[in-house]
Structure 1
């Protein structure tokens, strides 16, 4: 069981993780230039976290079943963020506010250790993402993400994965066929 799943189970067992939202396909959980400090656990469906730069969108990461998703910058700073969170498919999430979460976590050193594990994992994923962005070969970028997160290809439509990998959908299709 992943650290994220262990955290979700602890929060549910103690009754502080009980608010759910159903998000329709293409609906926004967070729009740009808003503040959202909630932590969301994805129960079903999938979402993408992205921002727009002029006419191009940049996908930073995805959320899908058994994952945790938030606008990290807004969560940590409690400030407005350009990040958007949008449902790719009809999605159901369970969530907790940052205030409730931090209050609960600070009461138990074991919970804080678990939170630190999750943060370390998120940082490691961001480092891997940074490395991916600097690799010139589309084939190598594809192979790295396939090795690291094969479930992504079952949960996320290929057009979004292509955008995440900074390649055209046709390029991803050619690579997958070879």
Structure 2
């Protein structure tokens, strides 16, 4: 939990009282790899901070899932549109590695907003962080080649990328596993 406080202190200094309120609402949740955290049709009730691990966002398909996002340690994760609207999700979240999350429920986050001086700033930071990741992904798909997207992912998370099955990476960058193999062969 100290890791989370350090992360938030980079954004906004909290009083010990605010931290006490905030941290009292956090729940530690540990999951083995390949755990579905949220299924299509379920309502997202958690905004979580990843202490360790990796999570993928995907749309289940009959033969191959469509992977459209990865989130790694020291970042927030949520099916945020479902979380904000409290409506069923149209995609699912799955752990790629053993994962530890520190989570707030929707109701607890509302209480933090009401009971602390910095709750709104923390909430704004989390939502801005999630939005920026989404915008970055969309721009990447529009402006970069598959090879550039692969290299960027490899550069940003080299130690974790080795733990992600190639079929998920290929889906994420918008190509087939065979095309990814050709890219990897060309750049090695």
Match of 2:84 in 1: 76
- Which of 89, 105, 108 does residue 100 from structure 1 map onto? 108
Whether the 8 Å contact between 1:162 and 1:172 is mirrored in structure 2 is yes
CA distance in 1, matches of 2:115, 2:184: 48
Give the total of aligned pairs.
Answer: 175
Query: Mind listing any 5+ residue stretches in structure 1 that lack a counterpart?
Result: none
Q: CA deviation at 1:75?
A: 0.2
Q: Is 1:57 equivalent to 2:59 in the alignment?
A: no
TM-score (normalised: structure 1): 0.79
CA distance in 2, matches of 1:60, 1:6: 27
Q: Is 1:41 equivalent to 2:43 in the alignment?
A: no
More displaced stretch, 99-108 vs 32-41:
99-108
RMSD over aligned CA atoms reads: 3.1
Structure number with larger C-alpha Rg: 2
CA distance in 1, matches of 2:58, 2:19: 28
Q: Once the two structures are superposed, what CA deviation does each residue of 1:128-160 show, in whole Å capped at 9, x if it has no partner?
A: 21122224622233345456xx12x32241512
TM-score (normalised: structure 2): 0.76
- Secondary structure in 2 aligned to 1:75? helix
Distance 1:135 1:4, change over 3 A: farther
- Which of 121, 124, 140 does residue 129 from structure 2 map onto? 121
